[in-house]
Amino acid sequence: MPTRRCLLQSALLRTLAPSPAPAGRKRTVIDEYDPSNIKLSHRMPIRSMTDEDLLFLQQIGIRWCRIEFDSDATYEFIKATQDRLARFQMRIYSGVHYAYRHADVQLGRGKRDELIETYCTFLRDCGRLGIPVSNYDWHPANTYTTAEVLSPRGYKARQFDLADFRAKVEKQAFEREYSAEDIWGAYTYFMKAVLPAAEKANVKLALHPDDPPVAKMNGVAKLFVNYEGYRRAEQIAGASKSWGLTFCVGTWSEGGGKMGKNVFEMIADFGGRGKIFDVHFRNVSGAMPHFVETFPDDGYMNMYEVMKALRKVRFNGAAVPDHVPQLAGDRGIRRAGTAYCIAYMRSLLRRANEEAG
């Protein structure tokens, strides 16, 4: 005969068990690895990564990668990288080839045509290998950070302080100053050259905003410091389906009320039109003129609402944790910090899928 304790336990288990779905009702929450879902990804400086690093990323559920290629990466090396990642059940979602970042390209001088052709070759290689996105930015003479500091929780992170930059860091980077129209001219020239190659290769070009969003640094104007910069770039690209955004939540949060549109308005606008190709899922302690980069749960931006907004516009590109702060004992790819970020992002994504459907 069952004891009274067994009967009580059985009743409790029946109470806690999930109710069966009504007959004929389909599940509405998509699986994490459904192709229509956000792809949790990570940035990888592939030449310095060991097989053990890749195994670690596989173990925490990474299936997609953003690969930082050298400026001399060949088709053969990209293909070998793709094959290597496949052994760890990972695929390349986006690639970065730094030919575009050369000063001659971004300032519009010297051997830019040769470098642009190198970049176009990379785009063609990505197309041949089925890599859908190439990330790029456009901020020559940039200063990303003014110090590394300990956060109130004790982890190490990057800080930017505008007063420190002006007083201790800023200097003229090149032989002369470059105005916004100088840089717009160089960017337009680049776009007119690479967009046809990207379109033919079926590769999307994902433009990162200026980090930090300061209009001029080290004698060179910056373009993508607010909504209007992105709108002008979109007008240059015209109706091309290959032009869009790497939407960096951290950078946009750094600008606060000076960005023209806030994070959620940007997601609704560009994301609602399918123009966000990639997301950097990063938080910060506050807006300019001073901020510290943080873990996603430790900044001022509500990252759950960000994830939910992305799902509401049906964003299904990659999301990376971006600049991972350093936890005690972390080196190299910062395994503990990376695992923390990915686990947190996965939890937000699952909950957002439940709400957004």
pLDDT one-digit tens code per residue, 34-81: 888 999 999 999 999 999 999 999 999 999 999 999 877 999 999 999
User: Tokens representing 233?
Assistant: 């770039």
Per-domain residue ranges for the chain?
A: 38-356
Whole-structure pTM value = 0.90
Which tens digits make up the pLDDT trace of 173-228? 999 999 999 999 999 999 999 999 999 999 999 999 999 999 999 999 999 999 99
Identify whether the C-beta of residue 223 lies closer than 8 Å to the C-beta of residue 254.
Answer: no
What is the CB neighbour count within 10 angstroms for residue 214? 22
Architecture of the domain made up of 38-356: Alpha-Beta Barrel (3.20)
Query: How far is C-alpha 178 from the chain's CA centre?
Result: 28
**Side chain identity at residue 140, one-letter code:** P
Identify whether the C-beta of residue 211 lies closer than 8 Å to the C-beta of residue 254.
Answer: yes
